[in-house]
Amino acid sequence: MFAYIIRRVLYAIPILIGVNLITFILFFMVNSPDDMARAQLGAKQVTPELIQSWKEDKGYDKPLFINSKTGGINTVTDTLFVQESLKLFSFNFGFSDANRDIGSDIKERMVPSLAIALPTFMIALITNISLALLLVLFRGSALDTSMMIIAVMIMSVSGLFYIIAGQVLFSKIWHWVPISGYESGWGGIKFIILPVMIGVFAGIGSGVRWYRSIFLEQINQDYVRTARAKGLSELRVLFGHVLRNGMLPILTGVVVVIPTLFMGSLIMESFFGIPGLGSYTIDAINSQDFAIVKAMVFLGSVLYIVGLILTDISYTLFDPRVKLS
């Protein structure tokens, strides 16, 4: 088990190097350090000397991939790509354009992001699975068909609509909750309720359909027929057999998402003024702050890969047939 995890982590390294290469190409080759210097210094007083000193200041004066000036191993290592990648691998994200430490910013903003993302995730999981089980119980009935049509309709509405409609209804007209803002501690609940509810509702259409199809696949299996033949009630069959065996495909989809919850939701956070990582990213995109975007890309990929590894591990815990090798 332990050896397997080590191997998976090692396997993640080339992928992260690949991710770095992609971001590097996007940020340093398409948009060369000279361009960045010009954009940062403003168009007016750009002299080659100023650009040079800016590049030295930021450490961008090295060649991109191959440094022919130095000999030996330094030809490859003393380059912008390797230096930048090493910095990211040690989670040293450097400073943003506004000269703030990105690493500590991220640490600070993770909590508000989780305050929204975690409740949304948990409530959505429970509602979607219970609704799907209900529909499977009444499969083929009028309830099932009409709920499926409603699910497609919910799916077809833009998520932005739910946010805007929710804000107008609950904050502007009924004044139940404040329209946006954030507060740490229990007092923050009034700010969190609306985004969480909207997040759950927006995902309910696709979620219920997905879980329903998983359960329907199980319900035609032989073991379900055997269970029924034994005289088990339909409810016992559903909870004892269908739900338990459906857990496996559900795990694949769910566990991989959990680490990425830290990244927060871009749209939700910026609409509700929550100082999390999502709004951090959006602000960075709008102000074209490449350093932050790069850090978020790297962080997102790391979390996704952690999710993949967790998925594999959770398999062995839930399914005795799967042996890690």
Partner 1 sequence: MKLTLLWTDIMVWFLVISLLVWSRVISRSPQVKKQWHTIFKSSIAMASAIILLFYLLFTLLDSVHLRFSTQPTETKSEKVQYQGEIVSLLDLIFAHNIKSTERTYSAPFATHEYAMSIVVDENGVTKQEYLPLKHVGDGDDIVGQSIYAVFIGLIISGVLILVHMVWRKKRGFKSELPWRTAYLTLLFLVVTFSWFYILSYYYHVLGTDKVGGDVLYQSLKSIRTGVLIGILTTLIMLPVAIILGVSAGLFGGWIDDVIQYLYTTLSSIPGVLLIAAGVLSMQVMMDNNPGWFESTLERSDLRLLFLIMILGITSWTGLCRLLRAETLKISQIEFVTAAKAFGVGKLTIIRRHIIPNLMHIILISVVLDFSGLVLAEAVLSYVGVGVDPTMHSWGNMINQARLEMAREPMVWWSLFSAFVFMFILVLAANLLSDRIQTVLDPRNKL
Q: Residues in the site for partner 1, rule: CB under 8 A? A: 14-15, 18-19, 22-23, 26-27, 30-31, 35, 39, 152-153, 155-161, 164, 167-168, 172, 217, 260, 263, 266-267, 281-282, 285-286, 288, 290, 293-294, 296-297, 300-301, 304-305, 308
Q: Is the Cβ of residue 76 or residue 152 nearer to partner 1 in the bound state? A: 152
How far is the C-alpha of 310 from the C-alpha of 290, rounded, in Å?
A: 30
How far is the C-alpha of 199 from the C-alpha of 229, rounded, in Å?
A: 41
Q: Is the Cβ of residue 34 or residue 78 nearer to partner 1 in the bound state? A: 34
Q: Is the Cβ of residue 22 or residue 66 nearer to partner 1 in the bound state? A: 22
Nearest distance, CB of residue 70 and partner 1, angstroms: 29
Nearest distance, CB of residue 279 and partner 1, angstroms: 11
- The tokens describing 274, both together, are 């929550």
Nearest distance, CB of residue 124 and partner 1, angstroms: 18
Nearest distance, CB of residue 17 and partner 1, angstroms: 9
Nearest distance, CB of residue 27 and partner 1, angstroms: 7
Q: Is the Cβ of residue 182 or residue 298 nearer to partner 1 in the bound state? A: 298
β partners of residue 101: 95
- The tokens describing 240, both together, are 């004892």
Q: Which residues contact 113 (CB under 8 A, 6 or more apart)?
A: 261, 262, 263, 264, 265, 269, 274, 276, 277, 278
Rounded to the nearest 10 degrees, the angle between the axes of helix 290-318 and helix 2-24 is 160
Q: Give me the residue label for tokens 């959770």.
A: 314
- The tokens describing 112, both together, are 């508000």
Q: Is the Cβ of residue 148 or residue 247 nearer to partner 1 in the bound state? A: 148
305: number of Cβ within 10 Å: 20
